[in-house]
Amino acid sequence: MARWEPGARERLVVAAVELFTEQGYDATTVAQIAERAGVTRSTFFRYFPDKRELLVAGQDTLSRLLTEGIADAPVGASPLEAVAAGLERASSAMGAMNRELGPRLKAAVAASAELQERDALKSVGLAAAMTTALVARGVPDPTAQLAGELGVLAFKRGYAQWSESDADEALAPYAVAALNELRKATAALG
């Protein structure tokens, strides 16, 4: 059972992921999603421009939180320490709903070329947001771009591990642990 109290926006996301899983992304209409969520079509369009954007909802919020976390990191923080601060800030926006829906969302994306493309663009956008925030801190290119890419990779890996874990934990420690693991792996690149 979900322990969060879903509003219309959350209900729409849950309904969409359920329908995508049951009958596929292509076969699912906005009308079906709205009906399942118990809202009108016009309520749907108040929250999302279309069914595809629904699945990447929150990208703007994530980008903003990553950027703010990186900007607010202590002056002496290394690029990856700043990225870790961004991941911690962004993780704070990911609650029980994200954790519960994660694996189903992943399955829906894996089954749809259209969603894969949108999801790939989301990753590019998050990396660019982190790179820009690092450059604003004075981190030179290509270190900033590299750190931004590591940040996205860490967020994805941490999210996957968090989604698959049994415990009732926060995302942040998973994302930061994934970043540390990637940092250590750089020593093995040769």
In the complex, the residues that contact its own copies under the rule CB under 8 A are: 77-81, 116-118, 120-121, 123-124, 140, 142-143, 145-147, 149-150, 153, 157, 178, 181-183, 185-186, 188-190
What DSSP line would sit under 134-171, residue for residue? HHHTTPPTTHHHHHHHHHHHHHHHHHHHHHH--S---S
Q: Which is nearer to its own copies, 80 or 175 (CB)?
A: 80
Closest approach of Cβ 126 to its own copies, in Å?
A: 11
18 vs 81, beta carbon nearer its own copies: 81
- Which residue in this structure is represented by tokens 């999210």? 159
Q: How far is the CB of 172 from its own copies (least distance, A)?
A: 19
Phi, psi of 189 (to 5 degrees): -70, -30
11/157 with CB nearer its own copies? 157
- Would you say 109 and 115 are in contact if contact means Cβ atoms under 8 Å apart? yes
- Give the shortest CB-183-to-its own copies separation in angstroms: 6
Burial of 105 (0-12, 13-18, 19+ CB in 10 A): buried
Shortest Cβ 160–its own copies spacing (Å): 12
